[in-house]
A and B are shown apart, each in its own frame.
Chain A
Amino acid sequence: ILNVEQSPQSLHVQEGDSTNFTCSFPSSNFYALHWYRWETAKSPEALFVMTLNGDEKKKGRISATLNTKEGYSYLYIKGSQPEDSATYLCAFYDYGGSQGNLIFGKGTKLSVKP
Chain B
Amino acid sequence: DAGITQSPRYKITETGRQVTLMCHQTWSHSYMFWYRQDLGHGLRLIYYSAAADITDKGEVPDGYVVSRSKTENFPLTLESATRSQTSVYFCASSEWSTGNQPQHFGDGTRLSIL
Q: Which residue numbers of A lie inside 8 Å of B, CB to CB?
A: 1, 4, 31-32, 34, 36, 42-46, 49, 51, 89, 91, 93, 95, 99-107
Q: Are B102 and A49 in contact (CB under 8 A)?
A: yes
Docked pose: A1 CA to B105 CA in angstroms: 24
Q: Are B42 and A31 in contact (CB under 8 A)?
A: no
CB B109 to nearest CB in A, in angstroms, measures: 11
CB A104 to nearest CB in B, in angstroms, measures: 4
Within 8 Å CB of B43, what residues of A?
44, 89, 91, 104
With A1-B59, A49-B100: A99-B40 Cβ-Cβ less than 8 Å: no
Docked pose: A106 CA to B39 CA in angstroms: 9
Total contacts A-B at CB 8 Å: 60
Number of chain B residues close to chain A: CB under 8 A? 24
Q: Are A102 and B40 in contact (CB under 8 A)?
A: no
Of the candidates A1, A93, A107, the one whose C-beta lies within 8 Å of that of B98 is A93
With A32-B99, A43-B90, A93-B99: A104-B104 Cβ-Cβ less than 8 Å: no
Q: Which residue numbers of B lie inside 8 Å of A, CB to CB?
A: 33, 35, 40-45, 48, 56, 58-59, 90, 98-108
Complex: chain B residue closest to A100, CB-CB:
B56
Docked pose: A105 CA to B42 CA in angstroms: 5
Sampled A-B contacts (7; CB under 8 Å):
A32-B99, A43-B105, A44-B90, A100-B48, A101-B98, A102-B103, A104-B43
Within 8 Å CB of A91, what residues of B?
43
Q: Are B48 and A43 in contact (CB under 8 A)?
A: no
Docked pose: A93 CA to B100 CA in angstroms: 9
Complex: chain B residue closest to A46, CB-CB:
B102
**7 other A-B residue contacts (CB within 8 Å) besides A34-B102, A89-B42, A105-B42:** A1-B59, A43-B108, A44-B43, A45-B105, A49-B100, A99-B59, A107-B42
User: What are the 9 tightest A-B residue pairs by CB atom distance, in nearest-first order?
Assistant: A46-B102, A104-B42, A43-B105, A104-B43, A93-B99, A106-B42, A32-B99, A31-B99, A44-B105
Of the candidates A31, A32, A42, A106, the one whose C-beta lies within 8 Å of that of B40 is A106
Complex: chain A residue closest to B39, CB-CB:
A106
Q: Are B103 and A34 in contact (CB under 8 A)?
A: yes
